[in-house]
Amino acid sequence: MLKVHDAKSLSRWGKLSWEGEMEEGTAIAFSTRTGNTKKPDDTWNDWSEELTTAEGSQVPNGDAQYIQWRAKFTTTDAAKTPVLKKVTLASVQTNVEPRFTDITVDDGSGSSNQDTRRRSSGGNLPPPGARSGSGGSSSGDDAPSKKWKISWKVEDANADTLQYTLYYKAVSEENWRLLKKELTKAEFEWDITTVADGRYKVKVVATDKLSNPVGWAKSADKVSPPFDVDNTQPSVGEIKVTPNGNGTYKIACEVTDMATPIQKAVYKIDSDENWKAIFPDDGIFDSKSEQLLLETGELPAGGHAITIQVTDRAQNTAVGRAGF
């Protein structure tokens, strides 16, 4: 009796054929059984009727992952014994649909949350624990990334070649829109400036049609969690400057964004080389509307100018300027 043969996945069985030496009066016959457990148990099929055509007998058992055969040797002459030399079993894996394990929409921003506090009075140092660039300043010159990477993970039990089609839609819409078809890699770079601001989902459909005949192909799909697209820059309101009477100034400005929270704000006064952080009056960036507040250090007598640059969580920036 043959040990259990593992076809690696659900399979359809073809013909069982064998080669050997069978003198007159001798014969070899086979029986088969199949199941979906490594060890035969009560869930396996019963042994089939005997298969007697050496050139090829169709295995009658149903589709399964495992199969076992046994050979029966008979003779009418005790001096003669049939000899089995080779057994061949034809099978084809039943096509199984692809299986998604993950889908990711990466906006390239890393952590989208920034825990920052308002800087202390006097001017040039950020508050304890706040992020800053080298030399205690924050750079506001990085260009925002507007090409997002959509990637997914998918498994195929048949090791078929997979092809993908990508769709997107606003969460309020019913119909999916085609984004890209006939993809062969499990990723896509999406220029999100091609869509309006809003909340979206993407869907990827995987098919194994490149490895299967028409009618046998299988497909599966995966939908991403919703995400926000924000291509509109924040709004910088009026910059209000109030002198304190000792060469220092109180500067206030309301900044807003229609889609995503404000993430950071920086400023320069006059000919400053480096951007410095400016914080909301409540000390943390966590809303779509923030009231920026700054107490300057002592400035030289005469006219001055301040430039404020604001960045939202989607990395859109806006600039406001005022003289005082």
Locus of tokens 């007598």 = 301
Considering the chain, what percentage of its residues have pLDDT values greater than 90?
Answer: 79
Domain boundaries, the chain: 5-93, 99-108+145-229, 134-140+231-323
Query: What pLDDT does 109 receive?
Result: 66
Spelled out in words, what is the top-level CATH class assigned to the domain 99-108+145-229?
A: mainly beta
Please check the confidence at residue 173 and state whether its pLDDT lies above 50: yes
Fold match between 99-108+145-229 and 134-140+231-323?
yes
Query: What pLDDT does 110 receive?
Result: 59
Question: Phi and psi (nearest 5°) for 212?
Answer: -135, 150
In single-letter form, the type of residue at position 165 comes to T
Q: What's the pLDDT band for 180 if we cut at 50, 70, 90?
A: very high
Give the range among 26-35, 85-94, 104-113, 198-207 with minimum mean pLDDT: 104-113
Which residues is 308 bridged to in the sheet? 267, 320
Neighbouring residues of 3: CB distance < 8 A, sequence distance ≥ 6: 68
Which residues is 204 bridged to in the sheet? 166, 222
Q: Rounded CA gap, 2 and 152, in Å? A: 41
Q: What single DSSP character describes residue 42?
A: T
Query: What pLDDT does 287 receive?
Result: 95
What number is the average pLDDT over the span 31-59? 96
Neighbouring residues of 324: CB distance < 8 A, sequence distance ≥ 6: 241, 243, 249, 303, 304, 305, 306
What number is the average pLDDT over the span 156-179? 96
In single-letter form, the type of residue at position 191 comes to D
Q: CB-based burial of residue 6 (10 Å sphere; 0-12 exposed, 13-18 middle, 19+ buried)?
A: exposed
Please check the confidence at residue 130 and state whether its pLDDT lies above 80: no
Cβ 279 vs Cβ 127: under 8 Å? yes
Please check the confidence at residue 138 and state whether its pLDDT lies above 60: no
Cβ 123 vs Cβ 296: under 8 Å? yes
Q: Euclidean distance between the first and final Cα of the chain, in Å? A: 97
Please check the confidence at residue 8 and state whether its pLDDT lies above 60: yes
Q: Mean pLDDT for the chain?
A: 88
Query: What pLDDT does 9 receive?
Result: 85
172 closest CA partner among 243, 241, 226: 226
What are the Cα distances from residue 293, in Å, to 239, 242, 257, 265, 280? 10, 11, 17, 11, 6
CATH architecture of 134-140+231-323: Sandwich (2.60)
Query: What pLDDT does 314 receive?
Result: 86
Q: What's the pLDDT band for 122 if we cut at 50, 70, 90?
A: very low
Q: Rounded CA gap, 65 and 1, in Å? A: 18
Q: What's the pLDDT band for 119 if we cut at 50, 70, 90?
A: very low
Q: What's the pLDDT band for 306 if we cut at 50, 70, 90?
A: very high
Please check the confidence at residue 144 and state whether its pLDDT lies above 90: no
For residue range 47-72, list pLDDT tens digits in order.
999 999 999 999 999 999 999 999 99
